Amino acid sequence: MSVGPTIRAGVLLGLAWGVLWAARFIPGVQPRSLSPQSAQRLWLACQEAQRAGHYDKILPLLEPLRVSSPDNPIYLSMAAQTYQQLGRAREEAQTWERYIRVAPFPADACPALGQSYERLGQDDQALDAHERCLAMDPSNTDLMLYLAIAFEHRGKFAQAESLYTQIVERAPDYADAQLGLARIELRTSRLDTAQWRVEKVLHKSPENVDALLAMALIDEKLGRRERAIQRLQKAHALNPAYEDVSHVLFRLTRKQITAP
């Protein structure tokens, strides 16, 4: 039986305060530097800083809490999320790794653990992390998707296709999985099936930028360059920062200009 987020939060908070309180009475354990009241004040200040987006203020507030309770999963989670916001991917990955070793619900570190390795450019570690994450929650289609994408990025297209197929069998309307299959079908010249999948996504979500990009690539393969450029221009207007769209659009328009 899966555990809901409310129950998970209650368990983690109970651990947080229980560890701090119980340690005061265990023989041989050094007294903690923080009372439960002080810990609660610091934790509330961390939460307020997070809500306000003041991520640079969180780590100094969190430090005494982590010194007092270094394996407390609720503090580790806050630290990892803060490192992510600050662009400190190495510390984020290290913190999530510690989290999964000590947390009662280790899968809550997913997919962030794998994504932190991706930001570091460590594709092998990212793939390993996504595999470990799926092993912790094998029926989770979101974790299946992240692993499929990791396989695809590593050029392991058979494994990626297998996972994408499993996802769409369970959730036929899962657009990202349908588009993943379409990319692999496009790569292996199964254009009819790829086009059918992408059209299905665009019918429901006509402004899906990934679908517009995929259809543009199909258009290009079929010799429909003008239509491909139109789709890419629409995708670029929707998301100007999408580098793949900009790259393909530049390549096709340059061909158009230089064509005799």
Q: Please report, in tens digits, the pLDDT of each residue of the chain (260 residues total).
A: 444 544 454 445 554 444 443 444 333 334 356 888 999 999 999 999 999 999 999 999 999 999 999 999 999 999 999 999 999 999 999 999 999 999 999 999 999 999 999 999 999 999 999 999 999 999 999 999 999 999 999 999 999 999 999 999 999 999 999 999 999 999 999 999 999 999 999 999 999 999 999 999 999 999 999 999 999 999 999 999 999 999 999 999 987 655 55
Q: How far is CA 196 from CA 14, 77, 165, 204, 215, in A?
A: 50, 41, 15, 13, 10
- Confidence (pLDDT) at 1: 40
Residue 246 burial by Cβ neighbours in a 10 Å radius (0-12, 13-18, 19+): middle
Q: Is 173-260 a CATH 1.25.40.10 domain? A: yes
Q: Return the domain boundaries, the chain.
A: 173-260
